[in-house]
A and B are shown apart, each in its own frame.
Chain A
Amino acid sequence: MSEFLLELHSEEIPARMQAKAAADLKKIVSDQLKAAGLVYVDARSFVTPRRLALVIDGLPEKQPDVSEEKKGPKVGANEKALEGFMKANSLVSIDQAEVRNTPKGDFYFVVNEIKGRNTTEVLAEIVVETIKSFPWPKSMKWSKNSFRWVRPLHSILAIFKGETLKGSFDFGNQTLNFGNKTRGHRFLAPDWFEVKNLDDYLHKLRLAKVLVDESERRDLIETQAKELCVAEGLTLKDDQGLLNEVTGLVEWPVLLMGQIADRFMSVPHEVLSTSMKEHQKYFSVLDGDGKLANHFVFAANTETVDGGQTIISGNERVLASRLSDAEFFWDQDKKDKLESRVDALETIVFQAKLGTVANKMGRVSVLASDLAEQTGCNPVYARRAAELAKADLTTGMVYEFPELQGIMGRYYALHDGESPLVAEAIADHYSPLGPSDRCPSAPISVAVALADKIDTLVGFFGIDELPTGSKDPFALRRAALSIIRLITENSLQISLRQAFAASFSAYTGQLTESEDKTIDGLMTFIADRLKVALKDKGVRHDLITAVFALGDEDDLVRLLARVDALAGLLKTDDGANLLAAYRRAANIVRIEEKKDKTVFDATVDTVLLQQPEEQALQEALQGASQEATKALEREDFTEAMAALAGLRPPMDAFFDKVTVNDDDPALRKNRLCLLSRIGVILGQVADFSRIEG
């Protein structure tokens, strides 16, 4: 059992592509090994900025021998068929084939014994195929070659059982032979050296200042960064995304700490953090109170004779230069009140057919103050927050750092002396930005956030600009999810149809689609998003469909309570049997309706109910219906479900004793109408026909 080691050494691979590349390399090679019948014990891949490596452990020396059986033409088939068969299997005479008796007659068969090839041969082909088919998200040509790789590929190390694999890769204008050499750190150990196996590879690269294993680099960066912070009585601000990115930028991480000049500490800390992270890939550091400290941590990719002093002072200078830009914008922006910037929103297009951002925010402020009652805030505040919510788009800072929209608005609003509640709502109104983002709960924030998203959805649905497949350029799915989260997580009793209608009329005739079409489309859209959102929480999508199918439920909180109650009911034995009984009833009714080409929806004639079981069912149905109605009025869905669950015993008894298709047509019709009532009454809580499983 033997080890195969592969390293593809190239110029710097973009950090964001590395993790997937390592996973792809492992998958592509192991898939090919499996297809070739080469069973191995373990596969592991590694990635650094300059190398993509893979080790396969426990490979056999050769492929297993296989015998392949081929069925040919029938004995006595025409000449052409026989010739074709012989040619395909390299037979000189048809006598070389075996004749076997099958249920369909006598047929020719050949059995080809295929000798397993040496693993080395197969591996060489696999390496070439892997390089050819590698799925880089973006790749390039270089020099005179026609071949594409993420960046120029310089060497292919391929070792099987300690020996260099025989083989090469043809670039089109240049051939790269497989070898057993690699090189270390670009500056600290640039020389080429030979490698025997994985242990040797990892060991020698470590000596050559390269940590091949990205998880080791990541841990090292995190540990060293934390140690630097602890030494200063500070803590590292957690940022896994940045940590992963930095891991992909270094082969030999050396963590260093720099200082932020005091004059910049008066600039909003989000600005400092954003600039450090986005432009410089620096980690932020927090003081004892959890506030941004005047230090930053970064990973250099090298050791220097002066212990990194030159590097630190260089980085501090770069940061100072960046932050003086930010400081300039901060000072300039404050000179104009946020309020005075509202007019400038007229120059920013929201969407060509839907007008400017100023138009939008005019509509949103009316809608937000309408929603204030339901969210429980003063409509004057909601309106004010909505008016100012996007004014920061015209500031220099947000132009420079678009990710700070809203956050800067809060700072400028506070500076202008706006109410802190209003300022908070400005910062919050874009949220939640996804399933894991914080969902606002302050009433003003909720009102403005909802209004903003409702306006967007109604606008785009109103001009028939809908998301298709993977394309959702205006993030409408996210907006719908945000609405769902804002309403359900804050338990708001809001009629969505009414809210959409109010938003529709605020567009004053600008929308090309009809109001009904727009709102119906949106309700379906919201239902779909709700299913996706609740799927993660284990809520069955068919139950949501069953409740949505009632058509009159547009209060999401109530709707979810119904779904919950329904799920609860179906979990009980009574519920499960009720569903089964309902289906039996519905099936009978459907079949008979088809036969008679009619609909059995007439009122049940109590006089015609002859057997005690059908009388009992009729009574139970009426009782359950009344109870359910009362419970529904109280919005006690569990109680309503319990009332319906009580239908199970009379239904079972009915099916046990009563023959539906009686010879007397009047009795038959009456019994079918009775069964039909079951669906109607269950329909008070959900459309049971939509429930699956």
Chain B
Amino acid sequence: MTNNDMSQSDAKKSDVTNSDDVKVGVNSVDLKSPAQASVKAKAKTKVIVDPEKCVQRLILKLQDYWARQGCVILQPYDLEVGAGTFHPATTLRSLGPDTWRAAYVQPCRRPADGRYGDNPNRLQHYYQFQVIMKPSPANSQELYLGSLDAIGIDSTKHDLRFVEDDWESPTLGAWGLGWEVWCDGMEVSQFTYFQQVGGIECNPVPLELTYGLERLFMYVQGVENVYDLDWDGVPAEEGGKTYGDVFHQNEVEFSTFNFEIASTDELFRHFEDAEAECARILKFGEANAEKNGKAKGNLLPLPAYDQCMKASHLFNLLDARGVISVTERQAYIGRVRELAKACCEAWNKTQQEEA
């Protein structure tokens, strides 16, 4: 990966499509055309392959499987993020000596990937399923393969492969080694042994698993268009919903907002506000920690990190609006990374301290 901007690298593992990174280059002009959206209105179809394989049932199966492996099942974080990794349950919890096992669905937003609901593979809002296990279990690969089995991917019929793919997030100052997991040539998950987060060495080392749910489920259900995914296993005539029923309007509206409406002046201002707020929270915490001679309970990495996530998303929106030049982009990524690092450092202090 040569592109290391925020949306691409973070979303590398999150792509709904088969393309490892999505770029809105010269073609974005065409994609922004709202006329295109109205022309290609979707014909409604709903095919139920197997109610056991509907979106919500598969999510429940993943949650159930990982709960049985001793994971805390969390709900999504209530802020916009570009990838499940941004959830504090991964970013922050990767640091510190304590055992931590969690699994959760995380809605992710990648404003630049909006296609006004026209592209069968690309969405500006999609789901990731995220597993984090610290320390990484000795049987990490077996545990992962067990989860595929749980959602009906049978290793006696499919070709499952671990293909080198090292992961890096310049925004989070994080990197790890691992693979993308291939099922019959399709990337179904990212499998990473984190080595560093927020510029801090991970010890113990966590295992991070990320499943791009739409893509995986399309494969399991055998559908070619994300909007055709059977959401609930209920027939259409009984009010059953497809992915399109649930999200198509959302994609059209947000594509318009992301590419055309979002006020760049306000976004720039919000970015600076979030950045300043993050720094202010951390500074306040530091002063208290110094005064009270204790990190935990005084430092405020969690609220500060909220501001970091906000800044990251605001950057992604600005990027989608096409108002950040190539040279500026690196600088913005660097600014978010500084926030992430500072939050991680504060968090790490609260974890390393003797109780």
Residue A395 is within 8 A (CB to CB) of chain B in the complex: yes
Q: Are B138 and A325 in contact (CB under 8 A)?
A: no
**With the chains together, A316 CA to B219 CA distance in Å?**
12
- 9 cross-chain CB contacts under 8 A: A15-B163, A141-B203, A144-B135, A144-B205, A187-B156, A302-B155, A314-B184, A332-B27, A400-B23
Apart from the given pairs A11-B162, A152-B136, A315-B185, 13 other A-B contacts in the complex at a CB distance below 8 Å: A11-B140, A12-B163, A140-B176, A143-B136, A144-B135, A144-B203, A151-B177, A152-B140, A310-B158, A318-B18, A318-B186, A321-B18, A325-B19
> Which residues on the A side are within 8 Å of B19 (C-beta)?
322, 325, 400
> Which residues on the B side are within 8 Å of A14 (C-beta)?
164
**With the chains together, A112 CA to B20 CA distance in Å?**
65
Residue A32 is within 8 A (CB to CB) of chain B in the complex: no
* Residue from the list A311, A317, A322 in contact with B158, Cβ < 8 A: A311
* Residue from the list B23, B183, B204 in contact with A144, Cβ < 8 A: B204
CB within 8 Å for A280 and B185 given contacts A187-B155, A249-B161: yes
Q: Are B162 and A396 in contact (CB under 8 A)?
A: no
Residue A655 is within 8 A (CB to CB) of chain B in the complex: no
Q: Are A394 and B326 in contact (CB under 8 A)?
A: no
Q: What is the distance, in angstroms, from B336's C-beta to the closest C-beta of chain A? A: 23
Q: What is the distance, in angstroms, from B157's C-beta to the closest C-beta of chain A? A: 5
Q: What is the distance, in angstroms, from B126's C-beta to the closest C-beta of chain A? A: 15
Residue B78 is within 8 A (CB to CB) of chain A in the complex: no
Q: What is the distance, in angstroms, from B36's C-beta to the closest C-beta of chain A? A: 12
Residue A305 is within 8 A (CB to CB) of chain B in the complex: yes
Q: Are B177 and A140 in contact (CB under 8 A)?
A: yes
Digitize B105-141: 1 where CB-to-A-CB distance is under 8 Å, 0 elsewhere: 0000000000000000100000000000001111011
**With the chains together, A681 CA to B211 CA distance in Å?**
78
Q: Are A321 and B184 in contact (CB under 8 A)?
A: no
Q: Are A138 and B166 in contact (CB under 8 A)?
A: yes
Residue B25 is within 8 A (CB to CB) of chain A in the complex: yes
**With the chains together, A49 CA to B161 CA distance in Å?**
10
Residue B224 is within 8 A (CB to CB) of chain A in the complex: yes
Residue A552 is within 8 A (CB to CB) of chain B in the complex: no
Q: Are B160 and A187 in contact (CB under 8 A)?
A: yes
**Which residues of chain A from 173 to 197 have any CB-CB distance to chain B below 8 Å in the complex?**
186-187
- Number of B residues with CB within 8 Å of any CB on chain A: 44
Residue B43 is within 8 A (CB to CB) of chain A in the complex: no
Q: Are B185 and A399 in contact (CB under 8 A)?
A: no
> Which residues on the A side are within 8 Å of B164 (C-beta)?
12, 14-16
Residue A349 is within 8 A (CB to CB) of chain B in the complex: yes
Chain B residue, CB-CB nearest to A151: B177
Q: What is the distance, in angstroms, from A248's C-beta to the closest C-beta of chain B? A: 9
Q: Are A314 and B26 in contact (CB under 8 A)?
A: no
**Which residues of chain A from 137 to 153 have any CB-CB distance to chain B below 8 Å in the complex?**
138-145, 151-152
Q: Are B157 and A306 in contact (CB under 8 A)?
A: yes
**With the chains together, A325 CA to B113 CA distance in Å?**
13
Q: What is the distance, in angstroms, from A150's C-beta to the closest C-beta of chain B? A: 8
Q: What is the distance, in angstroms, from A452's C-beta to the closest C-beta of chain B? A: 22
> Which residues on the B side are within 8 Å of A325 (C-beta)?
17-19
**Which residues of chain A from 259 to 317 have any CB-CB distance to chain B below 8 Å in the complex?**
279-280, 282, 298, 300-302, 304-306, 310-311, 313-315, 317
The secondary structure that dominates the A interface is mixed
CB within 8 Å for A140 and B193 given contacts A315-B185, A399-B25: yes
Chain A residue, CB-CB nearest to B122: A325
**With the chains together, A328 CA to B120 CA distance in Å?**
12
CB within 8 Å for A314 and B138 given contacts A304-B157, A305-B156, A396-B27: no
> Which residues on the A side are within 8 Å of B163 (C-beta)?
12, 15, 249
Chain A residue, CB-CB nearest to B195: A140
**With the chains together, A394 CA to B28 CA distance in Å?**
12
Residue B243 is within 8 A (CB to CB) of chain A in the complex: no
Residue B354 is within 8 A (CB to CB) of chain A in the complex: no
Residue B257 is within 8 A (CB to CB) of chain A in the complex: no
Q: Are B177 and A311 in contact (CB under 8 A)?
A: no
**With the chains together, A571 CA to B261 CA distance in Å?**
79
Which one of A139, A151, A395 has the highest number of Cβ atoms from chain B below 10 Å of its Cβ?
A151
Residue A319 is within 8 A (CB to CB) of chain B in the complex: yes
* Residue from the list A15, A141, A298, A344 in contact with B195, Cβ < 8 A: A141
Q: What is the distance, in angstroms, from B108's C-beta to the closest C-beta of chain A? A: 20
Residue B265 is within 8 A (CB to CB) of chain A in the complex: no
Digitize B196-235: 1 where CB-to-A-CB distance is under 8 Å, 0 elsewhere: 0000001111000000000000010000100000000000
Which one of A15, A140, A145 has the highest number of Cβ atoms from chain B below 10 Å of its Cβ?
A140
Which one of B18, B138, B155, B202 has the highest number of Cβ atoms from chain A below 10 Å of its Cβ?
B18
Chain A residue, CB-CB nearest to B163: A249
**With the chains together, A667 CA to B37 CA distance in Å?**
101
Q: What is the distance, in angstroms, from A275's C-beta to the closest C-beta of chain B? A: 10
Q: Are A12 and B162 in contact (CB under 8 A)?
A: yes
Q: Are A321 and B25 in contact (CB under 8 A)?
A: no
Q: What is the distance, in angstroms, from A413's C-beta to the closest C-beta of chain B? A: 17
**With the chains together, A325 CA to B31 CA distance in Å?**
14
Chain B residue, CB-CB nearest to A320: B224
Q: Are B30 and A332 in contact (CB under 8 A)?
A: yes
**Which residues of chain A from 357 to 413 have any CB-CB distance to chain B below 8 Å in the complex?**
394-396, 399-400
Residue A329 is within 8 A (CB to CB) of chain B in the complex: yes
> Which residues on the B side are within 8 Å of A332 (C-beta)?
26-27, 30
Q: Are A310 and B161 in contact (CB under 8 A)?
A: no
**With the chains together, A466 CA to B30 CA distance in Å?**
42
Q: What is the distance, in angstroms, from B28's C-beta to the closest C-beta of chain A? A: 9
> Which residues on the A side are within 8 Å of B18 (C-beta)?
279, 318, 321-322, 325
Chain A residue, CB-CB nearest to B178: A151
Q: Are A143 and B184 in contact (CB under 8 A)?
A: no
**With the chains together, A322 CA to B185 CA distance in Å?**
11
**With the chains together, A240 CA to B326 CA distance in Å?**
37
**With the chains together, A311 CA to B160 CA distance in Å?**
10
* Residue from the list A152, A301, A305, A321 in contact with B17, Cβ < 8 A: A321
Residue B77 is within 8 A (CB to CB) of chain A in the complex: no
> Which residues on the A side are within 8 Å of B224 (C-beta)?
317, 321
Residue B268 is within 8 A (CB to CB) of chain A in the complex: no
**With the chains together, A16 CA to B165 CA distance in Å?**
12
**Which residues of chain A from 512 to 556 have any CB-CB distance to chain B below 8 Å in the complex?**
none
> Which residues on the A side are within 8 Å of B26 (C-beta)?
332, 344, 394-396, 399
Digitize B163-184: 1 where CB-to-A-CB distance is under 8 Å, 0 elsewhere: 1101000000000111100011
Residue B159 is within 8 A (CB to CB) of chain A in the complex: yes
Which one of B155, B159, B184 has the highest number of Cβ atoms from chain A below 10 Å of its Cβ?
B159
CB within 8 Å for A318 and B204 given contacts A11-B141, A187-B156, A305-B157: no
Q: Which 9 A-B pairs have the closest CB atoms?
A: A314-B184, A14-B164, A12-B162, A315-B185, A300-B159, A143-B135, A140-B177, A399-B25, A318-B186
Chain A residue, CB-CB nearest to B157: A310
CB within 8 Å for A349 and B195 given contacts A143-B135, A318-B184, A399-B25: no
> Which residues on the A side are within 8 Å of B140 (C-beta)?
11, 152
Q: Are A396 and B25 in contact (CB under 8 A)?
A: yes
Q: Are A399 and B204 in contact (CB under 8 A)?
A: no
Digitize A7-19: 1 where CB-to-B-CB distance is under 8 Å, 0 elsewhere: 0000110111000
**With the chains together, A94 CA to B319 CA distance in Å?**
83
* Residue from the list B23, B161, B326 in contact with A399, Cβ < 8 A: B23
